[in-house]
Structure 1
Amino acid sequence: MFLRTFKEIFYPILAIIGVPANLMGILVLSRRNCGLSICTTRYLLAMATADLLVIVIVVILTIINEYYFPVSFLYITPVCSVKTVLMGATTECSVWFTIMFSFDRFVAIRFQKLKTKYCTGKTANVVLATTSILFLLKNIPFYFKEEPIFRYKNVLWGCQTKVSSFTDPIWVGFQWFDKVVTPLLPFGLILLINALTVRHIIITSRVRKVLKAQRLDGNNSDPEMESRRKSMILLFTISGTFILLWTVNVVQFVYVQIIGLFSISDSAYTLQAVGGTMLNLNCCTNTFIYVVTLSQFREEMYSMLTYPLKAILQRLSGLRKCSQ
């Protein structure tokens, strides 16, 4: 009861904050005045869009709708099945766009020669489009995993998992593949990418300190390292938040699905509920990260928020002058 009450309060607040936050992030990034490269901007735009879709489809149309609107057209079986597919696709895109962004920044920091070919807007478009299509196709089988709960006036209502999916070797194998793809594989990849990035940064910093100490002109400024520093702060903040908020979900999968502990106890439900809450929370944090880490993003957002007020004041000033 406590968890249900908590979720009934938490998820509406998450929606109220998450939708405008992601919309603001999309609008600000779309103006391309944040001092970011084209490829970085497109990855961040894709992440904000995927996060917004997760908030709308998973949080609003599924969780909140279940609590406050238990009877609606969303529970018609075909609609419910399509929603299941979109829930999986948007969540996985949100996760894997973060991985693609982390890999793009790793290439930009680690491989200077490859950077000019890989870290481009065209490559980002191809990567993002391919990722979206693949995960949409991957989740289509879940449409056929659902079956109606009852029929009313020749309309099929509700969605429940087919009993055969728990014993059919094909379905069992596919569900394991689904869990490995998200969250195990991306969680491991983002840890690996960040570890390699940190290792390269440490080595590069030592070399540059030695070279700077040998310089005779007394100039201690290092524009390249300053540029890398800003990129690294953004990368590590986003990926670090991702790791933090997805850890419980990964632990829950390992303990329940792999080790088999807590499989029939209240602990499994609690762990699953907390993990789900934290991974959904991850879908409204990025805009706040941009505000904290990117000064030009803050300035652009402030300009957008104050523009209507400035326009009204200018209009009133103009009318006052005309009346005089």
Structure 2
Amino acid sequence: MAVSDLTVIVTAVILNRVAGIYFPFSFLSITPVCSLRSAINYGSIDCSTYLTVAFTIDRFIAICCPTLKITYCTRRMAMRIVGIVITSCCIKNVFLYFIYEPRYMVKNIPWFCNIKDMYFTSLAWTVYEWIFTILSTCLPFILILLPNVLTVRSILVANGARTRLQNRNIGKNQSDAELEKRKKSIVLLFAISGSFFLFNALYLITIMYVRIGNLTYASGSDFNNLPFVLNESAIMLQFLSTCINPFIYAGTQNKFRAELNNLVQHPWRLLLKKLKI
């Protein structure tokens, strides 16, 4: 999840937004590279989104389905799920490479990306666009919200049962290790899920507002146009979400902090080892 968030920052923020603003005539603006960047951008965002979905479902199974947990919540299964998510997101977004055409031709070199007219008139592309919108915005919200609701319900029931058992055993000072583990899992779960809802809600609202109202805005920066402002604000918050998630991992996961600490200290350990030799 941290790697996918970092990929969004590198591809969508640095190589796309920053490079597009400050280096508009670099090789990144050549049409084939521009088309590839678009596919990679959406693919990386989808990977980050659906890995959050996978994590939410994983925590739901770990907390609410003890029988399924034995076979599902394993390292091998996690590797498979990550592989499936990345492969599916790549397949879903690879078609975006073919929707662009050059805006200019300079010395037989195609520059910048314009969406082809057939993208707006072809039935196949219209169906793809709706599928793309549903899979990228609506479905993740449902797949995160529903397991979270069920997880909360299960925790409330379990906590009530544990409280009743502890009331019967008054005088026995027993630490509830399982409850502490659940609390840590819930903190991480709701921190990531809450961050996703908070920073992606505007994007979903914008999509619905534009689709239902059949609104458009001209290319370029028009800050007097409401759909443009909403769209750009939603994208900014979406990028901000991927920046915040790694800090959430570091703040809530002891193992993540330990590995990060080892990563920082490892070069210095090697240097000290070399100097001693």
CA distance in 1, matches of 2:22, 2:118: 31
Q: Secondary structure at the match of 1:159?
A: strand
Choose the corresponding residue for 1:84, options 38, 44, 64: 38
CA distance in 1, matches of 2:231, 2:146: 25
Match of 2:16 in 1: 62
Match of 2:177 in 1: 223
Q: Secondary structure at the match of 1:219?
A: coil
Q: Secondary structure at the match of 2:24?
A: coil
Match of 1:164 in 2: 118
Equivalent residues in 2 for 1:170-185 (5 A)? 170-185=124-139
Query: What TM-score comes out, normalization by structure 1 length?
Result: 0.78
Q: Secondary structure at the match of 2:110?
A: strand
Give a deviation string over 1:117-157, Cα, whole Å, max 9, x none. 00111111111111111111111221111111122222222
Matched, 1:201 2:171: no
The letter for the 1-side match of 2:166 is K
8 Å contact 2:53–2:144 — kept in the other structure? yes
Match of 2:252 in 1: 293
Match of 2:225 in 1: 266
Shift of 1:216: 5.5
Pairs aligned (count): 271
Where structure 1 has 5 or more consecutive residues not aligned to the other structure, the ranges are 1-46, 320-324
Matched, 1:134 2:93: no
The letter for the 2-side match of 1:272 is N
Match of 1:284 in 2: 243
Match of 1:187 in 2: 141
Match of 2:220 in 1: none
Aligned CA-pair RMSD:
2.1
Give a deviation string over 1:89-140, Cα, whole Å, max 9, x none. 1110110000001100110000011101001111111111111111111112
8 Å contact 2:5–2:246 — kept in the other structure? no
The letter for the 1-side match of 2:252 is T
Choose the corresponding residue for 1:305, options 250, 259, 264: 264
Match of 2:221 in 1: none
Equivalent residues in 2 for 1:108-123 (5 A)? 108-123=62-77
Shift of 1:301: 3.2
Match of 2:55 in 1: 101
The letter for the 2-side match of 1:88 is Y
Q: Secondary structure at the match of 2:77?
A: helix
Identity between Structure 1 and Structure 2 (%): 37
Give a deviation string over 1:63-104, Cα, whole Å, max 9, x none. 111110010111221111111211111110110000001100
Query: What TM-score comes out, normalization by structure 2 length?
Result: 0.90
The letter for the 1-side match of 2:232 is A
CA distance in 2, matches of 1:314, 1:144: 52
8 Å contact 2:20–2:29 — kept in the other structure? no
Shift of 1:262: 6.0
- Cα–Cα, structure 1 residues 70 and 113, in superposed 2: closer, same or farther, change >3 Å? same
Give a deviation string over 1:7-39, Cα, whole Å, max 9, x none. xxxxxxxxxxxxxxxxxxxxxxxxxxxxxxxxx
CA distance in 2, matches of 1:146, 1:97: 28
Give a deviation string over 1:293-312, Cα, whole Å, max 9, x none. 23443354345435555776
